[in-house]
Amino acid sequence: MQEIRRFVVVLILPFLVAPAFAQVGTNIGVLNPNIVGEAEMVGVPHIDAPIARALVEGRPYLSALELDAKLREASLSDAQRAEVYARLFVPVNLVSASQEELLLVPGAGPRMAHEFEEYRPWDGGIVRFRREIGKYVDDEEVARLEQYVFVPMDLNTASREDFLTIPGMGDRMVHEFLEYRPYVNMEQFRREIGKYVDDDEVARLARYVHVK
């Protein structure tokens, strides 16, 4: 058991010293239902092939609540859905998520959901999240929790590295994000990025950005 704990600490520590640019929590094993395939989903507790297929067909999930509704349709109980979310989850917007959505974060509970709301608007992004939530739980728990959250980044000031923290983001799309600066509003973002991906993908990407 001691060897297992030592392995977990070694696994997590590199993520705790991740660069300060991160606006999306460092992922150490949680799958995103908007970008993973059916085969990976089937490896998650209570997700069989028909449910995995239905999840893929229901994309994109623009909130954890939408994913929760889909799994309710599949008749998964509260306990079963909680087990799913430990492994498969739609990251929660720390700035705007409702308390109902925050409570879907595995292991959060009412007290931690309150702290998530308390520090809004989370200026400083995930770096501030680590500092503030680290007042209540240890580093390993902070690293676990940050997999489930993100802070939207400003399209006009975010760095290339910031954009690369968005799930499923690649160099080509980062180039397009930078190419159309300055953005006047989100409609411009949707119009320009919509030249390269479909409406569903634009909607998925738009969750992670904003224009001040």
pLDDT at 33 exceeding the cut of 70: yes
Distance CA 169, CA 205 (A): 9
Distance of CA 134 to the CA centre of its chain: 19
Distance CA 185, CA 101 (A): 26
Average pLDDT of the residues in 180-197: 98
Q: Is 83:43 a contact under the CB 8 Å cutoff?
A: no
pLDDT at 102 exceeding the cut of 60: yes
Write the DSSP assignment of 35-78 as a string of letters: TS-HHHHTTSTT--HHHHHHHHHT----SHHHHHHHHHHTT--H
Report the chain's C-alpha Rg in angstroms: 17
Distance CA 151, CA 92 (A): 9
pLDDT in tens, 3-22: 434 434 334 433 333 444 56
- Percent pLDDT > 90 in the chain is 88
What local confidence, expressed as pLDDT, does residue 23 receive? 86
Which residue is it, tokens 């509704």? Answer: 69
Torsion from C-alpha of 174, 67, 38, 204, nearest 10 degrees: -20
